[in-house]
Amino acid sequence: MENVEPVPPPRLRELSARLFRAQGREARSRTPFSEQNAIAFLFLAPWLIGFFVLTLGPILASFYLSLTTYDLFNPPEWIGFDNYRKLLFEDARYFQSLKVTFTYVFISVPLKLAFALGVALVLNRGISGLGVYRTVYYLPSLLGGSVAVAIMWRQIFSYDGVINQFLLQFGIDAPSWISNPDYALYTLVALAVWQFGSPTVIFLAGLKQIPQDIYDAASIDGAGRWRLLFNFTLPLLTPIIFFNFVMQLIGSFQAFTPSFIISGGTGGPADSTLFYTLYLYEQGFTNFQMGYASAIAWILVGIIATFTAASFISAKYWVHYGDQG
Amino acid sequence: MTSPGSSATTSRLSFLFSSRVLTHLLLVLFAFIMIYPLHWLASSSIKPSNMIFSDTGLWPKEIRLQNYVEGWFGAALPFSTFFINSFVISTLAVIGNVLACSMVAYAFARLRFAFKRVLFAMMMATIMLPLHATLIPQYILFHNIGWVNTILPIVVPKFLAVDAFFIFLMVQFIRGIPKELDEAAAIDGAGPARIYWLVIMPLLTPALVTTAVFSFIWTYEDFLTPLVYLTSMDNYTVPQGLRLFMASTGASAWGPMLAMSLLSLVPLFIVFFVFQRRIIEGIATSGLKN
């Protein structure tokens, strides 16, 4: 409120306005709409420019470009749906990138959420030092997307890395995980699962909101711990599970930095870590196939939209909102 | 509920106690596994390169800070260049997001204007939009106006409130501020601009701090955008510098490279430990991505 005080004494015109405004909430509607409208659009101006120039315009341009061949230096040349046809029927590396990305998403997202939920349930049992555990478990999520952590990961899973030094003590001579096409992708899955801390924090917040008297009532009725978990806690937590699932799903489809760093920008070995976005980057910014890359981008948007929509439809059958739980 | 005998109570208590201890043991062990890679990074950064893989003890037998000196000058340009570039970009991104998103959020939360519902829905729709949907046309746009290899394609979008997520965060927050405060200020003759700056902004501080912290972390960590736009080495950010280092030295200089990797995380550690509560709360209440 102190901040309101340095307002200079109102001028005469504003003085008359004060008379109206003194009537409170109703008086607001008497300020001319056109004036408020103009002021509002001044406040909105940055976002409006950004939205049309950097979001909506590019989306439309991207669709147009996906129907052309364009190398940035010669004008775009219309080729209809040829890019899409090539992608879906001829491009083996594109299929490889789909395979890699789907494998990554379908393994890392459930694993990550399972870890996050399990740890959150344990931490929610009124354990002391909750804050410290939460911090330690969250830290990898904060750092996990960085180049530094990817470099570190590459070292840990290399032939003479920490993992293999550890296995060697048990007499196991393991291969280089990073440069073996059978395992390289799973080191990236491990890196994703290592970052289970951020969904954990969200689960913990959701668990806190479950009213304690439900447990008291249920335990008077003699319900055991596991029955409580499956009949009360998990159903009440389904909206949070759903939220985390959708966010992780969308994020995982777009993973880029770890695979770029760990494979040295190639998606190797033998294209085994050729993530979708890596192939997009390669086509767009290494080969300057802007039209082709736009088609790749559009299919990604379609894939993410389809999976998000499917999640929302499935939510009707397993997510409990409000008092139905 | 039968009343348990005293011996049953004791055994139950000891069971409870031991299960608590067991839980803590497991949690600590798990925390150790989680933190171990970072610990390994820290201890490797002060070992001689040839001992990183042979000396696997928790604490290094021999401490060598030389790695940091060699690493700092190990890439084609000293890391000071990359750090300065990263800090300039991250600072501008923070300022842009805080100013632009709060202005837009104020309009959505408090002002009346035409097409409000439609515009709000459009704003919300962009939150879910993958970055890659706009990446290529944006690049073509910035290429055509000659902004490639400058920081403008990275920084200017922040001043145009492109990170709609933060707008949403602030709209939610402003809706929780009592309207009576605006009205009191309006009675004193303050217009929307003054109300925004003198009433809303001070009260919005928690949301502004959350926005600033996450803007900093995400911009500082971002690799794809600089990789696409910053093409000459003297414009590289820290992540690009690390990648350059990795590509140019290969496997010969692990010590210096891991030293620089750790150093690149230091600003994130500092921000995390200073704003820890804000970060955890921000994640918990609004589910900020990662």
What ipTM is given for this predicted complex?
0.88
pLDDT at position A297 is: 96
The nearest CA of chain A is from the CA of B257 a distance in Å of 9
Model confidence at B83: pLDDT above 90: yes
Model confidence at A23: pLDDT above 80: no
What residues of chain B, 128 to 157, have a C-beta less than 8 Å from chain A? Answer: 128-141, 143, 157
Task: Give the range among A172-181, B49-58, B108-117, B269-278 with minimum mean pLDDT.
Answer: B49-58
Task: Please report which confidence band the pLDDT of residue A3 belongs to, taking 50, 70 and 90 as the band edges.
Answer: very low
pLDDT at position B278 is: 86
* Residue A303 identity (one-letter amino acid): I
Identify whether the C-beta of residue B230 lies closer than 8 Å to the C-beta of residue B42.
no
Q: Is B186 on the interface with A (CB under 8 A)?
A: yes
pLDDT at position B63 is: 76
The predicted model gives A150-167 an average pLDDT of 88
Task: Give the range among A217-231, B49-63, B139-153, B211-225 with minimum mean pLDDT.
Answer: B49-63
pLDDT at position B1 is: 39
pLDDT at position B2 is: 42
The two structure tokens encoding residue A18? 């004060």
Percent of chain B with pLDDT over 90: 65
The predicted model gives A194-214 an average pLDDT of 89
Q: Is A77 helix (H, G, I), strand (E, B) or coil?
A: strand
pLDDT at position B66 is: 87
The predicted model gives A45-51 an average pLDDT of 96
The predicted model gives B65-79 an average pLDDT of 88
Instruction: Indicate yes or no: CB of B136 within 8 angstroms of CB of A4.
Output: no
What residues of chain B, 244 to 273, have a C-beta less than 8 Å from chain A? Answer: 246-247, 254, 257-258, 260-262, 264-265, 268, 272
Higher per-residue pLDDT: A272 or B284? A272
CA distances from B252 to A175, B41, B233 (A): 20, 17, 22
Task: Give the range among A22-31, A82-91, A160-169 with minimum mean pLDDT.
Answer: A22-31
The predicted model gives B43-67 an average pLDDT of 75
Name the closest residue on chain B to residue A289, using Cα atoms. Answer: B136
Count of other CB atoms within 10 angstroms of residue B226 = 24
- Which of A24, A46, A280 is the closest to B183 by Cβ? A24
Instruction: Indicate yes or no: CB of A152 within 8 angstroms of CB of B37.
Output: yes
Distance CA A47, CA B162 (A): 7
Cβ contacts of B104 on chain A, cutoff 8 Å: 43-44, 46-47
- Which of A7, A40, A285 is the closest to B189 by Cβ? A7
Cis peptide before B206 (omega within 30 of 0): no
Give the β-pairing of A77-78 and A68-69: antiparallel
Instruction: Indicate yes or no: CB of A36 within 8 angstroms of CB of B113.
Output: yes
Model confidence at A16: pLDDT above 50: no
The two structure tokens encoding residue B185? 């200020």
The two structure tokens encoding residue B267? 């600003």
* Residue A88 identity (one-letter amino acid): L
pLDDT at position B104 is: 97
Task: Give the range among A270-279, B51-60, B231-240, B260-269 with minimum mean pLDDT.
Answer: B51-60
Distance CA B110, CA B179 (A): 9
Distance CA A29, CA A20 (A): 10
The predicted model gives B107-124 an average pLDDT of 94
The predicted model gives A28-32 an average pLDDT of 58
Higher per-residue pLDDT: A48 or A216? A48
What would the pLDDT profile of A284-293 be if each residue is shown by its tens digit? 999 999 999 9
What residues of chain B, 194 to 233, have a C-beta less than 8 Å from chain A? Answer: 194, 196, 198-199, 202, 217, 221, 223-224, 227-228
Cβ contacts of A112 on chain B, cutoff 8 Å: none
Phi/psi for B280 (5° steps) reads: -60, -45
Task: Please report which confidence band the pLDDT of residue A128 belongs to, taking 50, 70 and 90 as the band edges.
Answer: confident
Task: Give the range among A53-67, A82-96, A118-132, B46-60 with minimum mean pLDDT.
Answer: B46-60
The predicted model gives B61-65 an average pLDDT of 76
Higher per-residue pLDDT: A217 or A174? A174
pLDDT at position B12 is: 62
Percent of chain B with pLDDT over 70: 88
The nearest CA of chain B is from the CA of A160 a distance in Å of 6
Q: Which residues pair with A68 in a beta bridge?
A: A78
* Residue B55 identity (one-letter amino acid): D
Task: Please report which confidence band the pLDDT of residue B121 belongs to, taking 50, 70 and 90 as the band edges.
Answer: very high
Phi/psi for B289 (5° steps) reads: -60, 135
The predicted model gives A209-220 an average pLDDT of 78
- Which of A22, A41, A198 is the closest to B290 by Cβ? A198
* Residue A81 identity (one-letter amino acid): F
pLDDT at position B62 is: 72
Distance CA B88, CA B101 (A): 20
Model confidence at B10: pLDDT above 80: no
The predicted model gives B151-163 an average pLDDT of 96
pLDDT at position A1 is: 32
Task: Give the range among A10-19, B54-63, B101-110, B249-258 with minimum mean pLDDT.
Answer: A10-19
Cβ contacts of A39 on chain B, cutoff 8 Å: 111, 191-193
CA distances from B49 to A160, A161, B43, B54, B103 (A): 13, 13, 11, 10, 51
- Which of B134, B223, B290 is the closest to A251 by Cβ? B290
The predicted model gives B76-90 an average pLDDT of 96
Instruction: Indicate yes or no: CB of B111 within 8 angstroms of CB of A147.
Output: no
Cβ contacts of A239 on chain B, cutoff 8 Å: none
- Which of B107, B193, B246 is the closest to A151 by Cβ? B246
The predicted model gives B155-169 an average pLDDT of 95
User: In what helix (H) or strand (E) does residue A78 lie, and over which residues does it extend?
Assistant: strand A77-78
pLDDT at position B34 is: 92
Name the closest residue on chain B to residue A292, using Cα atoms. Answer: B136
The two structure tokens encoding residue A188? 């990236």
The mean predicted confidence, pLDDT, of chain A is 86
pTM: 0.88
Q: Is B21 on the interface with A (CB under 8 A)?
A: no
The mean predicted confidence, pLDDT, of chain B is 88
Instruction: Indicate yes or no: CB of A139 within 8 angstroms of CB of B35.
Output: yes
Model confidence at A9: pLDDT above 90: no
What would the pLDDT profile of B175-218 be if each residue is shown by its tens digit? 999 999 999 999 988 889 999 999 999 999 999 999 999 999 99
Distance CA A38, CA B137 (A): 31
pLDDT at position A8 is: 40
**Secondary structure letter of residue A69 according to DSSP:** E
> B50 burial class (0-12, 13-18, 19+ CB within 10 angstroms)?
exposed
